[in-house]
A and B are shown apart, each in its own frame.
Chain A
Amino acid sequence: MKWLLVALMVSATVMADLLQSHEMKQTGEQSVSPGGFARLLQTIARRRMLFLGVMCNAVSFFTFMALVQKEPLSFAVPASAASFVLETVLAKLVLHEHIGVRRTAGALAVLAGVVLVGG
């Protein structure tokens, strides 16, 4: 059951991040201040795909809530990083980001870390 919850959380996280990354690059640089947060909320309300990304975040969040009640935080949080490799590959293929040797090596180190933490 715990791995089913992890799978649902990872799928929702991947969708959320791809949609949000694509949409936020279109909006220009944002700031973190009360005014900046208010503008971000308006942007979410205006942009349908960004709103969908936030909804995917909500699915991921509620799945996480169920997971942390059953499993220790030190398992639940690192296990959610399983989305990491899938998202890195999709960032290159879908978002056309440049992923060089250092970024790939770093991603592999994080993957190894996730396997150790979740194993």
Chain B
Amino acid sequence: MKPSGALKTWAVLLFFLALKAAGNSWMAWGMKQVPERMSLDPSLYLHAMANPFVALGIIALILSLLTRMALLSLADLSFVLPVTAIGYVVAVFIGRVWLHEAVSSQRWLGALLIFGGALLVGSTARNTTNPPAPEKASKAAAE
């Protein structure tokens, strides 16, 4: 049995959040080990990519980009934006716990508001503009 549209959307969302959190963390960790300041010189970026954490981060972020595009095929942009904002809350949490960055109570409150807003939007209809593609609709009707 194939998952319903809503279940598939939330599964893809969770996969996206995991990839994005891992990618951001690896990249931030790796970039802190790169001595040069970034500028418009592309060779500096290539040098930064030689760092294994930066390379791992880039691979995870490319996969997260493709996953987000798949998510945009399932749901509205105005739905995807707030629900994926949960990733920002995860980033603040990882910044504090793993990278030992200082996070003020104001930032924690902001993260909480982002999370609450994302949950509110997550309770709305995921797709308001596009019915399922004809071939998908006929397959779903046959199942």
The residues in B between 5 and 31 inclusive whose CB is less than 8 angstroms from any CB of A are 5, 8, 12, 15, 24-25, 27-28, 31
Q: Which of A40, A99, A118 contacts B66 (CB 8 A)?
A: A40
**Distance from A105 Cβ to chain B, minimum over Cβ atoms (Å):** 6
Is the CB–CB distance between A113 and B31 below 8 Å? no
Q: Is B120 an interface residue (CB 8 A)?
A: yes
The residues in A between 34 and 91 inclusive whose CB is less than 8 angstroms from any CB of B are 36-37, 40-41, 54, 57, 61-62, 65-66, 68-70, 72-74, 76-78, 80-81, 84, 87-88, 91
A36 to B69: give the CA distance in the assembly, Å.
Answer: 11
A25 to B131: give the CA distance in the assembly, Å.
Answer: 9
Is the CB–CB distance between A29 and B73 below 8 Å? yes
Is the CB–CB distance between A66 and B65 below 8 Å? no
Q: Is the interface of B mostly helix, strand, loop or mixed?
A: helix
Interface size on B (CB < 8 Å)?
Answer: 72
A29 to B115: give the CA distance in the assembly, Å.
Answer: 27
Is the CB–CB distance between B120 and A105 below 8 Å? yes
Is the CB–CB distance between B76 and A97 below 8 Å? yes
Is the CB–CB distance between B24 and A113 below 8 Å? no
**What are 30 contact pairs spanning A and B, CB under 8 A?**
A21-B76, A21-B77, A28-B133, A28-B135, A29-B5, A31-B70, A37-B66, A57-B65, A66-B39, A68-B24, A73-B91, A74-B103, A80-B88, A81-B85, A91-B76, A91-B78, A95-B77, A95-B78, A96-B129, A99-B78, A103-B78, A103-B82, A103-B121, A105-B117, A106-B82, A106-B117, A113-B111, A115-B110, A117-B88, A117-B114
**Chain B residues within 8 Å of A, Cβ to Cβ:** 5, 8, 12, 15, 24-25, 27-28, 31-32, 34, 37-39, 45, 48, 61, 63, 65-70, 72-74, 76-82, 85, 87-88, 91-92, 94-96, 99, 101-103, 106-107, 109-125, 128-130, 132-133, 135-136
